[in-house]
């Protein structure tokens, strides 16, 4: 997955990770938010570059969740996602801007991110054709992250497992 790393973005991401740890409920604080395994901003960037896809969840007008795999670029305390113009998630975002993302790797590291999404003006553009050959277009969505819980792989006997 792509990242855009700047000093300002790294600092914003680190502050968000620390603030999220403070508001974590007991179950979360004792698992994904557990201090010895909590990722730093630098570790989250490294993790994010190593994952292939993330699961994005939106909420439809009737309250039903919708989860689908996406490519999401990490830009400090924001994500950038391309969404097909006729996708369910785009319709969902028109009614409710709350989203969540999660990804994990084979070593047991995991990241859960929450935020508020907005479609960027004038971002509608052509995309590669669909599997059937139909022409498609995408819009770019920016997600302002509001909470992040990220846990590194568990170390056993001094090694990642």
161 inside domain: no
Rounded distance between C-alpha atoms, residue 98 and residue 78, angstroms: 13
CATH no. for residue 58?
2.30.110.10
pLDDT digits (tens, 9 = 90+) for 17-75: 999 998 888 888 888 778 888 999 999 999 999 998 899 999 999 999 999 999 999 99
Residue 26's pLDDT is: 86
Instruction: Compute CA 14 distance to the chain's CA centroid, rounded to the nearest angstrom.
Output: 15
Strand partners, 35: none
Domain that holds residue 39: 7-154
pLDDT digits (tens, 9 = 90+) for 90-134: 999 999 999 999 999 999 899 999 999 999 999 999 999 989 999
1 inside domain: no
Residue 112's pLDDT is: 96
20 inside domain: yes
| Domains held by the chain: number | 1
């Amino acid at each position: 997955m792509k990242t855009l790393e700047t000093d300002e973005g790294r600092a914003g991401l680190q502050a968000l990770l620390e603030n999220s740890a403070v508001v974590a409920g007991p179950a979360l604080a004792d698992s994904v938010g557990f201090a010895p395994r909590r990722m730093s901003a630098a570790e989250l960037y490294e993790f994010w570059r190593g994952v292939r896809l993330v699961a994005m969840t939106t909420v439809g007008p009737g309250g039903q969740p919708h989860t689908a795999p996406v490519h999401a670029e990490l830009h400090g305390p924001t994500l950038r996602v391309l969404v097909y113009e006729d996708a369910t998630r785009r319709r969902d975002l028109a009614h409710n801007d709350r989203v969540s993302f999660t990804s994990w790797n084979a070593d047991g590291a995991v990241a859960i991110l929450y935020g508020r999404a907005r479609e960027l003006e004038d971002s509608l553009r052509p995309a590669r054709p669909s599997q059937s050959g139909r022409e498609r277009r995408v819009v770019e969505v920016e997600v302002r992250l509001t909470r992040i819980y990220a846990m590194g792989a568990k170390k056993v006997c001094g090694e990642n497992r």
